[in-house]
Every structure is written in structure tokens, then in C-alpha cells.
Amino acid sequence: MLRTRVLNPSERQPARPVISASLDLAARLPRLILEARRVSASVHGIHGRRRAGPGETFWQYRPLVTGESASRIDWRRSARDGHLFVREREWEASHAIWLWIDRSASMGFASSLAQASKVDRALIAGFALAETLVEGGERVGHLGLTRALASRRIVELLAQAILVDKKADADLPPDEPLPRLADAIIITDGLTPANALAKRIATLSSSGARGHILLIADPIEETFPFSGQAELFDLEDGLSLRVGDAGAWGEEYRQRLEAHRDAIREACRRAGWTLTLHRTDRPASEAVLRIASLIAASRGTGR
């Protein structure tokens, strides 16, 4: 018989404390960050756009060029070896990449067939993407939590912001348009009503922003391999449903799931976004490489 488990079932109430809202995230963060860095290191071929220009992030020192203003000289660095150096900042374009990682109650699900819970896989993929993209010269932020940053500490900064997020139960990203040149990466199980997610995609993309939906699914959610009597639980609302013949009901479930996914695909198509399905019995690196490659391709085409 297949077993299923739900992380921290006592923490399903929407008003639970902030730390509990992250499903004991503080205890799991070190492992998740290490795994994200391992995944990021396995992703190759993402080339950056880093160059000097107006911005806040230090990039490099370079020798002073004849004719440049003396006000640009970094005297402390120049004093080290008797040559004049200018402190350059990294060019920061008006576009950025915005993550949103779903940490609502349904994301805590993990079956015996999965390598990780959906929320852990979402966090690993999000952190790995952030590190990969920053290494490639992009700025990355989390919608509603941080500004877009090009920091080498991007993973730690995102983790700290997520840890104290007071809206960890939200199953949809913020309802605000993104800048025209931005990219969004929405990592979710997509189990919120399809019309609600479609409306949010339309809002985020209303100014012309590009986007990528990464749907995280447990293999049991995909196949529904049950028979006999079963009891299903809605982790968001605490509702339950008894099924007399799970085997017969399974076909209708799979049809409804596919119709739900089709509605999300259509919302992505209308917005010019991409949709990637990732199962938690597959390596996280597959999802990270797919999304990073899609972003690199869109940058290359100038979209």
C-alpha cells in the first residue's frame, strides 16, 4: 500500500505563528541551502551580462584613464601600489528577475514516492535559480519580500526574508503588475483555483513582463494510484472527502486535474509565459536547468 505524509499537520491553521508558518523552515534551511548550491553548481551554460555602469553594487577596480575626473579615483585602493584606480559599479538594467515561492499548506505534502516535499523542492529550485542567475549577471528578488539584488549572498538574503514572511500562507503572488522588462518565476503546485491563478498571471504580465510558471507536483497527485475506500484532506481549508471506490473515482480525478492544468496553460499562453511541470520524484536540477535556459533564451532574443 502506498503511504502519504503531510509535514507538520498540527500547523494547518492560517493564524499559526510566523516561524511555524514556514513549516519549521529555520531547522531545514541549512540543508536546503546546501542542496540548492549543489544543484546550482550542476547547471552550466548560463552566460551573464555584467558590465560597468550606474548602479549600487561594486563590480571591479580598473586603472584611471587619461581625461577622467579625479573625483572618481579610489584613493585607498590606489595607495596600495602607487597606481591610480577607479572603483566601478555594476550596471543595473531596469529589468530584474522576480521569484515567488508558494509556501501554503498544500505545499507541505510528500508521498513515499517523492524525494522531497513540494515546499522543500520549491525552495531548493528557487534558491538554486537565484544563485545561478546572479552568477550569470542578473538581479534577483522575491516578490513582496526583497528588492532585486545582484549580491553573492542572494541565497542567504532570500532565506532570511522568507523565514520571517508574515504571508507564508498565501497561495498566490502579490496582485501588482511587474515592470515591462522584468521576468517572473512563479514556483507553485498550482492547486489554487485556476481562474484565480489566471487573473494573477494577467495582472503580473499586464505591463509586458515575461514569466515562467514552475508547477511542482507529487507523483501520487499525478497518478492517484489508490483503490478501495479513501479519505482525502484539503490542507488549505481543513475539509475532508470520503471516497467509496477510489479506483473508480481516480479516472475522474485525473481528468479534472488535466482540465485544471489546461486552464493554467491557456493563461500562460495568453500572457506569453511558459509553463514547466516538475515532479518531486525527479532531480531538482532538471527544473532549474529548464527555467534558467528559458530565461537565457528570452534574453538572447531581446524579448
Q: What is the pLDDT of residues 142-185, one digit of tens each?
A: 999 999 999 999 999 999 999 888 888 899 999 999 988 899 99
What is the mean predicted confidence (pLDDT) over 196-206?
96
The region that residue 186 occupies, defined by phi over 0 for left and psi between -120 and 50 for alpha, beta otherwise, is beta
Q: What mean pLDDT, rounded, does the chain reach? A: 82
Proportion of the chain above pLDDT 70, given as a percent: 76
* Cα angle 263, 125, 179; round to 5: 65
Q: Is the per-residue pLDDT at 8 higher than 70? A: no
For 6, 181, 285, 286, the CA distances from 108, given in Å and listed in that order, are 6, 33, 20, 21
Tell me what pLDDT residue 82 has: 79
pTM, entire model: 0.77
The per-residue pLDDT for range 77-101, each reduced to its tens digit, is 888 877 888 877 655 444 699 999 9
Residues 140/155, Cβ–Cβ less than 8 Å: no
Domains of the chain: 18-49+93-301 (3.40.50), 58-89 (no CATH)
Whole-angstrom distance, CA of residue 268 vs CA of residue 271: 5
